[in-house]
Amino acid sequence: MKIVGYSERGAMNALFYGMAFNKDERKGEKDMQSFLELAKVPNYNHYHQFEIYTEFSLSQFGSPDLIIFAEKGDVKTVFFIEAKVSACKHFKMESIQTEYEKGQKEKPNTSNLFYQLEQKKGLFDNKDKFHSEETTINTNRGSKSIGNNPVVRNLVEELKKCDNAEYIAIVPSEGEEKMKEPKNEGLKKTIEDLNLKIVYWEDLYQKFGNELKYESLIETFLFNQGKDPKSIKTKSQILNKPI
């Protein structure tokens, strides 16, 4: 039996379920450290005791694509991960700038990368203030609450156990032209405030598909591409350049 998922959710599931359900638990942990290495997380090989939460709601603070809890010595860290794909078009690194500008609008699209990350940071920075369902905090997007859904509150209780947070974006690359130094000062500051890490789908495929032979990931990437009936060009739902 095999499962092939669609777009970023399918690729994320193929990758991280592959790690979690590896028969050799030590290899699964090592592979997660390899993911953190690609994200350029300092001392990536010191993290262990990984826990993965997919597509969980955080109520008015949105639903991250993935949350990873990990320990490094006595310190517990949460990694908030948001993923974007090419959608059979071409994801330009300049669109990071565009995403930021769109995210600064009074009412941005809730799927905007920087809006999503901003919400997670707002929640984490104020996590200890949420004691009851009536608790709200003031943000630059108005008052927000985690509500009284018991599952959301369970997850926030896990966040309260964390000492720090890391923010990771998974996006397509343009080959050698990866993320350049942003010109916008607001974007620079936002990246610094988030200590934002960028991981590229192409690098993930190279590492976990070509090198580590994650079969489900390979099948997912290959199925998520095909010939456009009009242009006859092969297009990928995930990558800028099809495999």
Rounded Cα–Cα distance for residues 27 and 19 (Å)? 8
pLDDT at position 174 over 60: yes
Torsions phi, psi for 113 (to 5 deg): -55, -50
* Domain assignment of residue 102, given as a range: 7-120+164-236
Range ranked top by mean pLDDT from 77-81, 91-95, 187-191: 77-81
Number of domains forming the structure of the chain? 1
What confidence tens digit (pLDDT) does each residue in 83-98 have?
Answer: 999 999 988 755 566 7
CB 9 within 8 A of CB 65: yes
Is 193 a domain residue? yes
pLDDT at position 219 over 90: yes
Is 153 a domain residue? no
Is 139 a domain residue? no
What percent of the chain has a predicted confidence (pLDDT) above 70?
89
pLDDT attached to residue 140: 67
Rounded to two decimals, what is the model's pTM? 0.91
Is 143 a domain residue? no
Model confidence band, residue 134 (pLDDT cutoffs 50, 70, 90): low
Query: Which is more confidently placed, 136 or 57?
Result: 57
Is 135 a domain residue? no
Query: Which is more confidently placed, 14 or 103?
Result: 14
Model confidence band, residue 4 (pLDDT cutoffs 50, 70, 90): very high
